[in-house]
C-alpha cells in the first residue's frame, strides 16, 4: 500500500509534490528507513528526467538511499535544472549529494580536432562534466546553456526528419512537438537528447507490434542486423519491465548512426570556453574518459577505439585546456585501462572522480567496483565534492581549487581529505554513522 500510494508521486509533474511525497515516504517508513544498512558506495553520475532517465531527482535520492548509497550526484546533459531538487531530496533521505552538468564541446582548436575522443558518434567533439557546481553559479550556467538547447532543438528536428525517411514505411511519421517533446522535461529547463528520439521510436514499435516474435523480426529489419541472443531474450520477454529501454539501447547502437547529424559550434562550444566558464563559476571541469570499448555494459555502444592510443598526449594537454579533473566509470573499463588513467591523473595533478551514468530502469544505482582496493580512494573524492559544494554554497571560490579555499596551501591529496571531512560532517545528522 505504501508503494502504491506514495512512490508514483515521486515522478509527479510538480516538484513540490515530489519532495512532499519523498518526505512522507521517509516519515512512514520511519526507523526501517533510517536504520537501513549503508554500503560505502557512492555514485556521482545519475541522470534525471531533466535529460533522459526514468527518475526525477526526488526518485533518484529515494532509490539511492534504498540501495545503500551514502552519496548520489545528478549529472544531466546540458541542464542544471535538477540541482535544487537533488539537494533537497538528498537532505530529506539523509545522504550526501553533488550536482553537475554534462556537455559536449569542440576540440577544434587543439591537436585532437580530427580524433575520436569519447564520443561514439563524432570526431573532434567530446563529453566533459562540470562537477561540484556551486549554488551561486547555477543560474549563470543555465543561462550559458540556452543557446546550446536552441541549437540542439534545430538538430533534433532535422534528425526526426531522418527517422521519418528511414522508418516512416515501418512505423508511420513522428512529430517532434507531439511525439518527442512530451517525453522530456524541456519546458522546465531540461534538455531533449538523442535518447528521447529513440525512446519515441521504441514506444511506437512496442505499441504497433505486440507479438514477440514479429516484434523481434521488425526490430531486426529496422536495424538491418541479427541481434545477439541475450538481447533477443530481453525483447521477446513480454514481462520484461525494462523492455522499452533495452530496445532503445539496440537502436542507439545499431540505428542512430543512420540519422545522426553532427552538432554545430553553438551546440558544441569550444572546450576552452567551457572550461573557462567552469573555472569562473567555481565548478570543477572534468574530462570524461571512455577508453576503447570491447563490449558495452549498457548495450548501447559498439566495440570501438577511443582515446587509449594517444592517452598520454591527451592527458598532457588537459591541464593546458583548463581541466582540473578526470572522471571515469569503474565498471566500464578493464583494470589495466583505469590504472593507466590513474597514473596519468597523478602525473598531471588531476582530481579523479567516479560515477556510473544511470539513464535506464535496468541499471543499478550501486557501483560495487568502487569498493575494490584500486578504487576506494574515489569514495573520499566523492565526499570531497560534497564538502566542496558545502563550502561553495555562499562563495563559489571556496571550493577545492578555489582562490579562497581555506586549504589552498595544501597538496591536492590533503585538500581532498579536508573537504571529504567537511562533506561527511555536514551530511544530515544521524545518517552517516548509521
Question: Are 418 and 425 within 8 A, CB to CB?
Answer: no
Query: What pLDDT is attached to residue 302?
Result: 61
User: Would the pLDDT of 4 be above 50?
Assistant: yes
Pairing state of beta strands 96-106 and 71-77?
parallel
**Cα 161–Cα 163–Cα 165 angle in degrees, nearest 5:** 70
DSSP assignment of 213-270 equals HHHHHHHHHHHTSPPPHHHHHHHH-TT-TTHHHHHHHHHHHHTGGGT-----TTTS-B
Q: How confident is the model over 338-349, as a mean pLDDT? A: 97
Domain limits, the chain = 42-146+267-425, 148-258
* pLDDT of the residue at 430: 40
Within 10 angstroms of residue 227's Cβ, the number of other Cβ atoms is 17
Buried b (16+ CB within 10 A) or exposed e, 392-419: beeebbbbbbbeebebeeeebeebbbbb
Tell me which residue of 100, 95, 67, 45 sits closest to 423, measured CA to CA. 95
State the average pLDDT over residues 62-73: 93
pLDDT of residue 85: 98
Task: Burial-class residue 172 by CB neighbours within 10 Å (0-12, 13-18, 19+).
Answer: exposed
pTM summary value = 0.94
Confidence of residue 413 (pLDDT cuts 50, 70, 90): very high
Cα Rg for the chain, rounded, in angstroms? 21
**Distance from C-alpha of 136 to C-alpha of 109, rounded to nearest angstrom:** 30
Residue 431 binned pLDDT confidence (cut-offs 50, 70, 90): very low
Q: Which of 85-89, 189-193, 204-208, 427-431 has the lowest mean pLDDT?
A: 427-431
Euclidean distance between CA atoms 226 and 216, whole angstroms? 9
pLDDT of residue 352: 98
Strands (E) across 273-420 are located at 284-288, 325-328, 351-354
Taking each continuous run of H as one helix and of E as one strand, the counts in the chain are: 15, 7
Question: How large is the average pLDDT for residues 76-89?
Answer: 98
Q: What's the pLDDT at 39?
A: 79
- Taking all residues of the chain, what is their mean pLDDT, rounded to a whole number? 93
Return d(Cα 406, Cα 215) in angstroms, integer.
60
**Grid cell 523492455 — which residue?**
243
In this prediction, residue 6 carries a pLDDT of 83
d(CA 71, CA 316): 31
- Topology of domain 42-146+267-425 in CATH is TIM Barrel (3.20.20)
Cell representation of residue 331: 565498471
pLDDT digits (tens, 9 = 90+) for 178-232: 999 999 999 999 999 999 999 999 999 999 999 999 999 999 999 999 999 999 9
Environment class of 274 (CB within 10 Å of its CB; exposed 0-12, middle 13-18, buried 19+):
buried
Average pLDDT over residues 5-31: 91
Q: For residue range 251-274, what is the model confidence (pLDDT) as tens digits? A: 999 999 999 999 999 999 999 999
Amino acid at each position: 500500500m505504501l508503494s502504491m500510494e506514495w512512490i508514483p508521486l515521486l515522478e509527479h509533474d510538480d516538484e513540490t509534490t515530489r519532495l512532499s511525497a519523498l518526505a512522507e515516504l521517509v516519515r512512514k517508513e520511519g526507523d526501517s528507513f533510517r536504520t537501513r544498512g549503508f554500503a560505502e558506495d557512492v555514485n556521482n553520475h545519475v541522470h534525471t528526467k531533466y535529460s533522459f532517465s526514468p527518475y526525477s531527482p526526488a526518485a533518484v535520492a529515494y532509490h539511492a538511499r534504498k540501495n545503500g548509497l551514502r552519496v548520489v550526484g545528478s549529472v544531466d546533459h546540458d541542464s542544471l535544472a535538477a540541482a535544487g531538487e537533488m539537494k533537497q531530496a538528498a537532505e530529506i533521505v539523509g545522504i550526501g549529494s553533488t550536482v553537475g552538468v554534462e556537455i559536449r564541446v569542440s576540440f577544434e582548436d587543439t591537436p585532437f580536432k580530427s580524433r575520436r575522443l569519447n564520443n561514439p558518434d563524432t570526431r573532434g567533439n567530446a563529453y566533459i562534466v562540470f562537477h561540484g557546481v556551486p549554488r551561486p553559479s547555477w543560474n549563470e550556467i543555465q543561462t550559458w546553456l540556452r543557446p546550446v538547447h536552441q541549437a540542439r532543438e534545430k538538430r533534433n528536428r532535422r534528425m526526426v526528419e531522418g527517422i521519418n525517411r528511414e522508418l516512416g514505411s515501418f512505423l508511420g511519421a513522428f512529430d517532434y512537438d507531439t511525439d518527442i517533446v512530451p517525453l522530456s522535461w524541456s519546458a522546465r529547463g531540461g534538455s531533449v537528447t538523442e535518447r528521447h528520439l529513440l525512446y519515441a521510436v521504441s514506444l511506437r514499435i512496442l505499441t504497433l507490434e505486440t507479438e514477440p516474435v514479429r516484434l523481434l523480426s521488425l526490430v531486426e529489419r529496422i536495424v538491418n542486423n541479427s541481434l545477439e541472443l541475450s538481447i533477443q531474450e530481453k525483447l521477446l520477454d513480454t514481462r520484461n519491465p525494462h523492455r522499452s529501454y533495452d530496445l532503445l539501447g539496440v537502436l542507439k547502437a545499431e540505428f542512430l548512426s543512420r540519422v545522426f547529424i553532427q552538432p554545430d559550434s553553438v551546440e558544441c562550444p569550444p572546450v576552452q570556453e567551457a572550461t573557462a566558464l567552469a573555472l569562473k563559476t567555481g565548478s570543477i571541469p572534468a574530462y570524461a574518459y571512455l577508453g576503447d570499448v570491447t563490449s558495452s555494459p549498457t548495450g548501447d555502444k559498439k566495440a570501438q577505439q577511443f582515446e587509449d592510443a594517444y592517452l598520454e598526449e591527451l592527458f598532457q594537454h588537459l591541464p593546458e585546456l583548463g581541466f582540473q579533473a578526470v572522471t571515469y566509470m569503474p565498471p566500464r573499463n578493464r583494470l589495466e585501462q583505469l590504472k593507466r588513467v590513474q597514473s596519468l591523473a597523478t602525473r598531471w595533478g588531476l582530481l579523479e572522480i567516479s560515477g556510473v551514468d544511470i539513464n535506464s530502469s535496468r541499471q543499478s544505482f550501486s557501483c560495487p567496483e568502487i569498493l575494490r582496493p584500486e578504487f576506494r580512494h574515489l569514495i573520499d573524492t566523492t565526499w570531497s565534492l560534497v564538502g566542496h559544494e558545502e563550502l561553495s554554497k555562499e562563495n563559489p571560490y571556496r571550493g577545492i581549487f578555489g582562490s579562497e579555499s581555506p586549504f589552498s596551501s595544501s597538496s591536492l591529496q590533503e585538500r581532498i581529505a579536508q573537504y571529504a571531512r567537511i562533506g561527511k560532517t555536514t551530511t544530515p545528522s544521524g545518517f552517516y554513522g548509521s
